[in-house]
Amino acid sequence: MNWNDQTEIARNWFESLRDRICAEFEAIEREAGSDASFDYTPWDRETDDGSDGGGGVRGVMKGKVFEKVGVNVSTVTGEFAPQFADTINGASKEHPQFTATGISLVAHMANPHVPAVHMNTRFLHTQAAWFGGGADLNPPIEYVEDTEAFHARLRAACAAHNPLYYDKYKKWAEEYFFIPHRNVHRGVGGIFYDHLECEDLPAFERNLAFTKDVGEAFLDAFPAIVRRRMDQEWSPEEKAQQLEWRGRYVEFNLVYDRGTLFGLKTGGNIDAILMSLPPEVTWG
């Protein structure tokens, strides 16, 4: 099995996960008395020479519970710019070719008691091939039981594959989702992993299985938290707290986030890349 075959297998999983997540989020909207649903916009990656650069589908829903949620899937191919190639695992100025497929999700919630969330998993190959991704919870108003439930489900997913994964990837998330100029974490963490290399078929199958379980953990944990909090009443002060907190989220994504930089540096769809930004935000 070559990397193109592996990319197709990974792509099919990411698309199927997208379909299940979107169906679950729409079901939550129905439970809240809303008929909101996802609008899907396909896009093609533009290349300098007019060759096929792949593309993706951007899905966005604005509803009663989900003030704005975007779920993107994409499969793109091409060459990194010379100054960017040396920063990517397995790529170089001499070998700038890449293929990447993945799913990316960000949800900003109407109720400040419901946490925002981010999830992304991906498969890339350059001169190497690897999986990466993770999920992290971002509450404007933290509830310890929600944080513990989210982490417990990710811990279980990790434990099924390697007893060292959870502590390692939890620490990585804590270090990654940090805003140095504010000296604060973006949220209450989760897991973040990268460069799970697929040097042979058993490694690909093993790392794909782990990546699938991360997706399943997210789909199991986050909707349960949404349903627990979505009917809570909130005050104007709590809404103001949410809007100011969102400013920190924006600052992280525009200044530090690797995925945002990757999309901008590889000719991705601008609307899909910036889908992570909230619909309304304030700075104090």
Instruction: Report the distance separating Cα 169 and Cα 77, nearest Å.
Output: 28
Domain count, the chain: 1
Q: Which member of 95, 108, 113, 118 is catalytic?
A: 118
CATH number of domain containing 178? 3.40.1500.10
pLDDT in tens, the chain (284 residues): 676 899 999 999 999 999 999 999 999 999 999 999 999 999 998 776 767 789 999 999 999 999 999 999 999 988 877 777 677 776 676 777 889 999 999 999 999 999 999 999 999 998 899 999 999 999 999 999 999 999 999 999 999 999 999 999 999 999 999 999 999 999 999 999 999 999 999 999 999 999 999 999 999 999 999 999 999 999 999 999 999 999 999 999 999 988 787 777 776 778 877 888 999 999 97
Is residue 158 within 8 Å of 139, Cβ to Cβ?
A: no
Q: Is residue 229 part of a domain?
A: yes
Q: Is residue 33 part of a domain?
A: yes
Q: Is residue 162 part of a domain?
A: yes
Is residue 185 within 8 Å of 174, Cβ to Cβ?
A: yes
Q: Report pTM.
A: 0.93
Q: Is residue 14 part of a domain?
A: yes
Q: Is residue 282 part of a domain?
A: no
Cα→Cα distances 67→27, 63, 104, 111, 128, Å: 15, 5, 17, 8, 39
Range of the domain at 220: 3-276
Q: Is residue 283 part of a domain?
A: no
pLDDT tens digit sequence for 235-261: 999 999 999 999 999 999 999 988 787
Q: Is residue 81 part of a domain?
A: yes
118 among known catalytic residues: yes
Query: Please, what sign has the CA dihedral across residues 81, 44, 269, 2?
Result: negative
